Structure 1
Amino acid sequence: MTSTSMTHQRVWIGVDVGTSMAKAAAFDVSGELLAVASRPVPLSHPGQARVEQDPEVIVGSVQAVLAEVCAAVGNHRPELVALTGQGDGCWLFDASGVPVRTAISWMDGRAASILAEWEENGTSDAMFAENGNIMFPGAPAPILAWLDRNEPEVLDRAATAGYIKDLLLQRFTGVRATDATDASLPFGSLTAGEDYSAEVLRLTGLTHRAGLLAPIQLPLPSGTLTVGGAGATTLVPGTPILAAPYDIPACVIGSGMLEPGDGLLIAGTTLACSVLTDEVDLSGPKAGMTITMPQPDRWLRVMAAMVGTASLDWALKILDVPFSSLNALLEDTAPGSNGVEVLPFLAPSGERAPFVDPAARAQFTGLSLTSTRGDMIRALCEGLAYSARSCFEAAGLTGDVYICGGGSRSIAWMQIFASVLGRPVFLAKEGEVGARGAILAAAEAIGAPLDAEIWTGPHRVVEPDATAVKLYAAGYDRFGRHLSAAKALWMR
């Protein structure tokens, strides 16, 4: 846990439950980070292409980080606690918020065969036409369909098939609800997040399971902390608890991105590339997600690629390179990586943006006996940047690009992104961007808006290198040709 001296009595707390870490962060009225605490939330792999998480472990981790943060700020009662976290996957729990099975992660691939059926019979295209969302194996719809075929008794025991922050809200407050951002995928209707699409439920064969979907509460689900929900948090019962937008739109809000056409890259476990829009246009590529934002007439076109820092972490581990050496390694290797090129599709469940293919796999090409670790690492970083560019092009980027996430700590990698994208990149204000955005959205929802201008804003701008821009334009063309050739060889 880290903290600063506590001089303000008014405190806002954001909770962000990611794929590998649960965090709580406390801020003062000016958006300064007062304290942050974190706990790991492990993944389990119970079978091939299967990835699960224990919800009770996560609940315990959230209680622990809330207690730590409360202690760090002098146990002042927060104005509110805003919840955000990972989207997708399937979190099944009963009417009391008690899980009925381990959660199936968004990284899970067991539903790939169902997805293949939907793609072959036209279901996937029909769903995209309805709400602008393309499915992938870890999306709730194919997972629910798999469970309906293979574990129907589990669904029978459940009251809700929701998301991690839905489970936390119910445990803390007793309120069963979800917000418009999480409801958007996969059963959303694009009607300002007011209802689910009966057509998508019909297409997926899940109409008989519609009762598992939590009511959508606008502008955000909210309740007050119950005595039983407080548990080990040390929070005072009666504290306002809100389920804010899930992590991708929360980071959009927390980065300060406001203008339609602007984009946000979350350089995290995956590369989530989002573009804000004031109209829904589904005439482009059938890819990605369309997320209803809390603000009126605002949507996100999201291309959440499976590639990201998980791919980089894998390569650093294999090549025995610490992350602390990444900047130096990138700076010592010339753009173009001395001919080494990478298709970075290392996720076991394939890729989901800007195309969906569970069989997608990585390739390193151009290697020789003279290739170095620096060549391989830089080539992977360049390949990841090319993937981000392809995602932004599919999402309709026309404006500025903001970046947040753990990968943004490497300025040398951010330089590669700027040069591949051919535009400056604005690094979001440091300090728990997702939790920051969740608090801003929650405060707005209860009619006590905070000053977003001072809570957000970039802390650094990284300009593209003119020489590298030209080299990467050619490299991006080769990336596309490599990808087209590789698709035919992926094992299915």
Structure 2
Amino acid sequence: MYVGIDVGTSTVKAAAFDAEGRELAVAARPVTLALHGGTVEQDMDEVYGAVVAVLREVTERAPGPVELAGLTGQGDGVWLVDADGRPVRPAASWMDGRAHELVDRWLADGTFETVFRRTGSAMFPGCPGPLLAWLDSYEPKALDEASAAVYCKDMVFQRLTGRPHATTDVSDASMPFLDPRTRAYDNRVVELLGLTHRRGLLAPVSDPVATARTQAAGLPPGTRIANGPYDLPACALGAGVTSPGDGLLIVGTCLASLVATTDLDLTGEPAGLYINTDRPGHWLRAMPAMVGTAALDWVLSTTGVRHDQVDELLAETPPGAHGVGVLPYFAPSGERAPFVEPRLRAELTGVSLESTKADLIRATCEGIGFAARHCLEAAGLTGSLAVCGGGTRSPAWMRLLADVLGRPLRVVEGEVGARGAVLAAAERYGVALDAAAWTEPTAVVEPDAARAAYYADAYDDHLARLAQARRRARS
């Protein structure tokens, strides 16, 4: 039995697989997001407790010897820990917006662009650079007390294994301090962000991931476990996206677009990031938009519609949603891909007394689809496209996405991040697994030619409305 752990933003999951990649059991626990005045924080002890709980549950439901375990989780944010991996303060989430004024300043004075040209990382308020700089100004005592500023899965890994020192991997370290050519921290970037005196907080990078054996915490003591990569590249592995030009769209809380590449292009508009992988010279060009299913969740909650009603409502209104349009930029920290606008907010247009809930739902799904198309084009998609995440549970939304994107979708269902974490662990430990069998798509959704042509024109309208919204956000 192989166990994958995926420490998500709102849900912690563990999945058990057999040697052919079939899911034997899945366990999940929700975790709390504390939102207040633009801050988004999480209790590290709650997150770790959820990890232990799902591991115990999944191993009880699928009893058998655990060959090895792989760990992945949400990226970015700042998780300050002491020498034992215990929290110094609540974790600042990747969704946190408190540092937006710093990003605004760095955008204006050229620091933002300089960092991108050196590292391929377009900073946003919830990434470690701005958050650490904000904490250094407003909560320096927390940084003084910390031994390391790590990422979610790193905190979990240290506590599961009892390792004496925190480490991270090349994927999590990619934003914003890592030089993608040398795979080492760029001290000039640290200096530009005013953090040279905090350089010691950056966790050492285990290239590509660290390995250890677990203590008694949900898995049998002594179980081999590997830390990383974080959830975006783990999902790429779990969906079989490794060949240059192929892409992955993760329709989850974050709408993440990834394209495998061997070309490092640090020109053009600074946006997204290059995620380092376990193979030097191979990257994932990532455009992780801030809001994916979270935008639809907000609209569903506001309109009183259940998730299981989405497919039915999508069938009640035609493409274009009777003129209703949604710019789906709902995150309190604005947008980070395929552009950075910390002050951008969602917009709802074309609504009248004749508009229905179905119109609002379709318009939201279409808006998310247009945002995905924008990200995939910017990331350089030329090959096949896999899709995973919670949104794949809606067949009607998958058909709509295929039409909006104008290309077939390789739908990969199940716990794709946990699956990728296991494949990464197997690679590190030399365990032979059939990656093609583990990443076989569950369905292929073809676009409808007529609807795809309609949405090609509608996408141009979306870009025009977005350009206007970006101008307003800057004024």
TM (norm. structure 1) is: 0.94
1:86 aligns with 2:69: no
Offset at residue 21 of structure 1 (A): 0.6
1:368 aligns with 2:357: no
Structure 1 CA distance, aligned partners of 2:474 and 2:285? 30
**Bigger relative contact order, structure 1 or 2, given CA contacts below 8 A and separation 6+?**
2
Query: What one-letter code is carried by the residue in structure 1 that aligns with 2:259?
Result: V
2:427 alignment partner, SS class: helix
Offset at residue 261 of structure 1 (A): 0.8
Give me the identity figure in percent: 53
Offset at residue 339 of structure 1 (A): 1.3
Say if 2:243 and 2:260, in contact at 8 Å, map to a contact too: yes
Structure 2 CA distance, aligned partners of 1:410 and 1:168? 32
1:440 aligns with 2:423: yes
Structure 2 CA distance, aligned partners of 1:353 and 1:177? 27
Structure 1 CA distance, aligned partners of 2:349 and 2:139? 42
* 2:315 aligned to which of 318, 328, 331: 331
Offset at residue 467 of structure 1 (A): 0.8
Structure 1 CA distance, aligned partners of 2:473 and 2:153? 36
After superposition, residues 184-223 of structure 1 pair within 5 angstroms as 184-191=174-181, 193=183, 195-223=184-212
* Residue in structure 2 matched with residue 6 of structure 1 by the alignment: none
* 1:48 aligned to which of 37, 47, 53: 37
Query: What one-letter code is carried by the residue in structure 1 that aligns with 2:220?
Result: V
* Residue in structure 2 matched with residue 480 of structure 1 by the alignment: 463
Question: What is the CA deviation profile of residues 109-152 of structure 1, one whole-angstrom value per residue up to 9, with x for unaligned ones?
Answer: 00011111111111100000001110000001100000111111
Structure 1 CA distance, aligned partners of 2:46 and 2:67? 26
* Residue in structure 2 matched with residue 254 of structure 1 by the alignment: 238
After superposition, residues 143-182 of structure 1 pair within 5 angstroms as 143-175=131-163, 176-182=166-172
After superposition, residues 302-317 of structure 1 pair within 5 angstroms as 302-317=286-301
- Residues 387, 348 of structure 1: alpha-carbon distance in 2 compared, 3 angstrom cutoff: same
After superposition, residues 52-71 of structure 1 pair within 5 angstroms as 52-71=41-60
After superposition, residues 343-492 of structure 1 pair within 5 angstroms as 343-428=327-412, 430-490=413-473
Offset at residue 481 of structure 1 (A): 0.9
Structure 2 CA distance, aligned partners of 1:165 and 1:191? 24
Offset at residue 307 of structure 1 (A): 2.1
Structure 2 CA distance, aligned partners of 1:491 and 1:93? 36
Offset at residue 422 of structure 1 (A): 1.1
Gap regions ≥5 residues in structure 2: none
After superposition, residues 220-235 of structure 1 pair within 5 angstroms as 220-226=209-215, 230-231=216-217, 233=218, 235=219
Query: What one-letter code is carried by the residue in structure 2 that aligns with 1:111?
Result: A
Count of aligned positions: 473
Query: What one-letter code is carried by the residue in structure 2 that aligns with 1:213?
Result: L
1:202 alignment partner, SS class: helix
1:489 alignment partner, SS class: helix
Offset at residue 489 of structure 1 (A): 2.5
Say if 2:103 and 2:342, in contact at 8 Å, map to a contact too: no
TM (norm. structure 2) is: 0.97
Say if 2:239 and 2:440, in contact at 8 Å, map to a contact too: yes
- Residues 284, 491 of structure 1: alpha-carbon distance in 2 compared, 3 angstrom cutoff: closer
Query: What one-letter code is carried by the residue in structure 1 that aligns with 2:368?
Result: L
Say if 1:192 and 1:296, in contact at 8 Å, map to a contact too: no
Say if 1:162 and 1:213, in contact at 8 Å, map to a contact too: yes
Structure 2 CA distance, aligned partners of 1:434 and 1:146? 31
1:116 aligns with 2:85: no
Structure 1 CA distance, aligned partners of 2:161 and 2:332? 37
* Residue in structure 1 matched with residue 224 of structure 2 by the alignment: 240
Say if 2:82 and 2:88, in contact at 8 Å, map to a contact too: yes
Structure 2 CA distance, aligned partners of 1:170 and 1:463? 44
Say if 1:285 and 1:394, in contact at 8 Å, map to a contact too: no
Structure 2 CA distance, aligned partners of 1:373 and 1:267? 22
* Residue in structure 2 matched with residue 274 of structure 1 by the alignment: 258
Structure 2 CA distance, aligned partners of 1:225 and 1:243? 11
* 1:24 aligned to which of 5, 14, 17: 14
Say if 2:93 and 2:126, in contact at 8 Å, map to a contact too: yes
Say if 2:208 and 2:277, in contact at 8 Å, map to a contact too: no
Query: What one-letter code is carried by the residue in structure 1 that aligns with 2:172?
Result: D
Gap regions ≥5 residues in structure 1: 1-10
Offset at residue 487 of structure 1 (A): 2.2
Question: What is the CA deviation profile of residues 380-419 of structure 1, one whole-angstrom value per residue up to 9, with x for unaligned ones?
Answer: 1111100011111111111111100000111111112111
Say if 2:79 and 2:90, in contact at 8 Å, map to a contact too: yes
Question: What is the CA deviation profile of residues 175-195 of structure 1, one whole-angstrom value per residue up to 9, with x for unaligned ones?
Answer: 3211110011111111363x2
Structure 2 CA distance, aligned partners of 1:477 and 1:152? 46
Offset at residue 42 of structure 1 (A): 0.6
1:260 alignment partner, SS class: coil
* Residue in structure 2 matched with residue 13 of structure 1 by the alignment: 3
Query: What one-letter code is carried by the residue in structure 2 that aligns with 1:246?
Result: Y
Offset at residue 491 of structure 1 (A): 7.4
